[in-house]
Amino acid sequence: MSKSKDKKINKIKNRKIWPFVVSIVVSILIFAVIGVGLLEASFSNLVMSKIQALNQAIQEVDESYHECMQNGEDFQSIARNIYKFTPDVQSICVVDEKGQVVQQYGEFEPDFETLQEQVGVIDLSENGDGQGDQLWLDPMEMGLMERTSLVDDGEVYGAYCWYVRPLSESANLCIRVMIVVYQYELASIVMMVLLFFAIMVLVIGWNIFMIVRAVRQRCREKDILYTSTVTGGNNIQYFKDQAEKLLKENHRNRFNYAMISVRLEKYHNFCSCYGIKEGEELMENLFQELQRHLQNKEVAAHAAKADFALMLKYGEADNLRYRLERMVSDLKEAHPTQKLNFGVGIYWIPQKHEDVGTMYNYVEVVQETIPEDLEDHICCFEESMLDKQRWIRKVEDDMESALANREFQVYLQPKYSTREEKLSGAEALVRWIHPTEGFIPPNKFIPIFEQNGFILQLDDYMITEIARLRAKWLYEGKKIVPISVNVSRAHFTKVDLAEHICKLVDQYNVPHDMIELELTESAFFDDKDILINTVKRLKSYGFDISMDDFGAGYSSLNSLRELPLDVLKLDAEFFRGEDEEGRGDLIVGEAITLAKKLDMRIVAEGIETRKQVDALAEKNCDLIQGYYFAKPMPVEEFEKLAFPQEAK
Ligand code: C2E
Ligand code: CA
Ligand code: CA
């Protein structure tokens, strides 16, 4: 997975909700602290302003009391007067040094002892300065119960306090005043607090909205992230995350797990015949079928194209194989009118395992080793498969530069006439001289090139090289034998193949009859019309055509009937192993007779012994190619062999 894709996926997966929740909690706390503080501060401000006003009033009461006393007025009339003009005053008392109330106006009388307790020692004797002590009981300090117990209708807060003022050494004037906060006075504070809470509700509401949005978005994104656009079910991302989770949890359960890949063969072919929509429907059905086979703590997903990924539990390996066989047979029912083939790759997950992506890659590697056109296969992963894949990677990485750097070299394997045992032809065979790998034989890269199509370029290169060589020999006036070049079956999808080969050869003005083209038998199974047409045209341009590897694989005698071939190359397999009953010998003899009757020359390949040469001579075989006479060799060596006089 690319880094940026990884980053995006992780971002979606790790999108967190908790910052919003924290933000809500923090907002509530901040608002609560500030709100309560604000309320408290505003309220105490209001009360303090009232206290100040009362202070003022008390001062006035105090002064007027003294004035009236001096004027000889009696206590009751003084007190009545004060009471009348100062509504906050509830009681006015004169208390002697023992705390006994001597005079009283109003219903409340001070408990002097308690007053002393609350404000500390009231040492009245030292306060003869006429200023009076501010013996306020701080209203804010008083308990709420006390306060509310004083509250009447329309009042939200009430508190009283005693003002104590020494009159003489033996008498104190005590005035009880009341502080009341009314509802209307609180209106502005309440408005402010309401506004404040409205803002708080807005902020919290916004946060809640963000949480809901984030949760929904996360669900939506996860849905997209984990859904296959083909089957509508789980995709590979889901598979990886879920499998990783199951394996992590498995420390407790200790199940054996296997990573599985199920591939529908020739899916492209299915889509070409029935359309992509039908193809996707098939994939959807297959996925549902796979899901039906899942047990608890197993996972399946559509991985890519025609591949499904599964992680299954197992007890015995054989049981899992049996389960997979049943699974595949059910999958085949998904499209009863079409024959479906499946490849199954298994990787037995060890206790100490790699990450899911790597392990899934292993089963994909297994898939690469299952031949496409074979019946259903269940194959297990082997380390050597990775080496094979690495080799394919290396070959594919290096092939272009190898062609440009002329690392592919032409080797020639001589063909000898059976009777005279004289060099009468040669086959061009490629070798790769790799700068680091050294000499690489064709079986290590030709099958890869046939798979990836690079064989077209390589064959063109070989044909060109042979044409160039022939031109050189012609120019040098050398006696020339025909040289055959292999033409891979991959070319036979091109309608203008014959013209294409002509163009390559004509660059060097070489007569076409000096070049023979070897077609492998498998080419004869591809598009027959193109093949017949191409062979006929190549012949009309003067090339000789030979059927390579005749007798290997599925031979078709019919192709001998339909195609105007010049040469038949008997496959080396005819001459391998024991032939006690002489059946192989008989077939070779009959094949030679048949070829002769069809006016074809016959070449026996892979001849290694004198005995084989003699037997072939007896059967009238025309040419022999094999290690008995010569192995494939570099051009310079071949030149020494083919043109001995000139070489001297
Ligand atoms: P092929 O076309 O059947 O070539 C004959 C192969 O048999 C050659 O293997 C040759 O070295 C080998 N051979 C010849 N005589 C004997 C013998 O007496 N005993 C044994 N054991 N082997 C013998 P080579 O060169 O490794 O090529 C293998 C195959 O690679 C070729 O089989 C051909 O199919 C393919 N190939 C090689 N060069 C080219 C090329 O330029 N183009 C294409 N398309 N295929 C090529
Ligand atoms: Ca050949
Ligand atoms: Ca051959």
How far apart are the CA of 610 and the centre of ligand 2, in A? 22
Which residue's alpha carbon is at the smallest distance from atom 21 of ligand 1?
606
Host H or E run for residue 174: strand 171-182
**Ligand whose nearest atom lies closest to the CA of 551:** 3
What pTM was estimated for this model as a whole? 0.66
CA 182 to chain centre: 68
Sequence-ordered list of residues with C-beta below 8 angstroms from that of 158, at least 6 positions apart, any chain: 147, 148, 150, 151, 152, 178, 179, 180, 181
User: Using one digit for the tens of pLDDT, what is the confidence trace for 356-405?
Assistant: 999 999 999 999 888 766 666 899 999 999 999 999 999 999 999 999 99
Whether the CA torsion 524, 528, 530, 532 is positive or negative: it is positive
So what's the pLDDT on residue 105?
87
Q: Is 265 close to ligand 1, i.e. is its CB under 6 Å away?
A: no
Averaged pLDDT score across all residues of the chain: 85
**Ligand whose nearest atom lies closest to the CA of 549:** 3
Number of Cβ within 10 Å of residue 439's Cβ equals 9
Which residue's alpha carbon is at the smallest distance from atom 6 of ligand 1?
606
Residue 510 carries which DSSP code? -
CA–CA dist 63, 67 (Å, integer): 6
Which residue's alpha carbon is at the smallest distance from atom 23 of ligand 1?
606
User: Using one digit for the tens of pLDDT, what is the confidence trace for 314-326?
Assistant: 999 999 999 999 9
Q: Is 85 close to ligand 1, i.e. is its CB under 6 Å away?
A: no
Find the mean pLDDT for residues 9-17: 71
Sequence-ordered list of residues with C-beta below 8 angstroms from that of 398, at least 6 positions apart, any chain: 434
How far apart are the CA of 429 and the centre of ligand 1, in A? 6
Q: Is 91 close to ligand 1, i.e. is its CB under 6 Å away?
A: no
Q: Angle formed by the axes of helices 276-293 and 267-274, to 10°?
A: 130
Q: Which two tokens stand for residue 322?
A: 């049996």
Around ion ligand 3, residues with a beta carbon closer than 5 Å are 548-549, 605
Phi, then psi, of 323 in degrees rounded to 5 = -60, -40
CA 144 to chain centre: 63
Q: What is the DSSP string of 392-404?
A: HHHHHHHHHHHHH
Number of Cβ within 10 Å of residue 109's Cβ equals 14
Q: Is 154 helix (H, G, I), strand (E, B) or coil?
A: coil
How far apart are the CA of 451 and the centre of ligand 1, in A? 18
User: Using one digit for the tens of pLDDT, what is the confidence trace for 504-555?
Assistant: 999 999 999 989 999 986 666 667 788 889 999 999 999 999 999 998 766 5
CA–CA dist 5, 234 (Å, integer): 18
**Which long-range CB contacts under 8 A does 268-277 form with residues at least 24 apart?**
270/338, 274/338
Best residue among 403, 408, 486, 519 to mutate for probing ligand 1's pocket (most ligand atoms within 8 Å of CB) is: 486
Which residue's alpha carbon is at the smallest distance from atom 42 of ligand 1?
486
User: Using one digit for the tens of pLDDT, what is the confidence trace for 563-616?
Assistant: 889 999 999 998 988 777 778 889 999 999 999 999 999 999 999 999 999 999
Q: Which two tokens stand for residue 417?
A: 């006439």
Decide: 23 and 206 in contact? Cβ < 8 Å.
no
Number of Cβ within 10 Å of residue 131's Cβ equals 11
Which band of pLDDT confidence, cut at 50, 70 and 90, is reported for residue 124? very low
Q: Which atom of ligand 1 is nearest to the CA of 549?
A: 3
CA–CA dist 340, 269 (Å, integer): 11
Which band of pLDDT confidence, cut at 50, 70 and 90, is reported for residue 280? very high
Phi, then psi, of 443 in degrees rounded to 5 = -65, -10
* 294: amino acid identity, one letter: L
Q: Is 446 close to ligand 1, i.e. is its CB under 6 Å away?
A: yes
Q: Is 128 close to ligand 1, i.e. is its CB under 6 Å away?
A: no
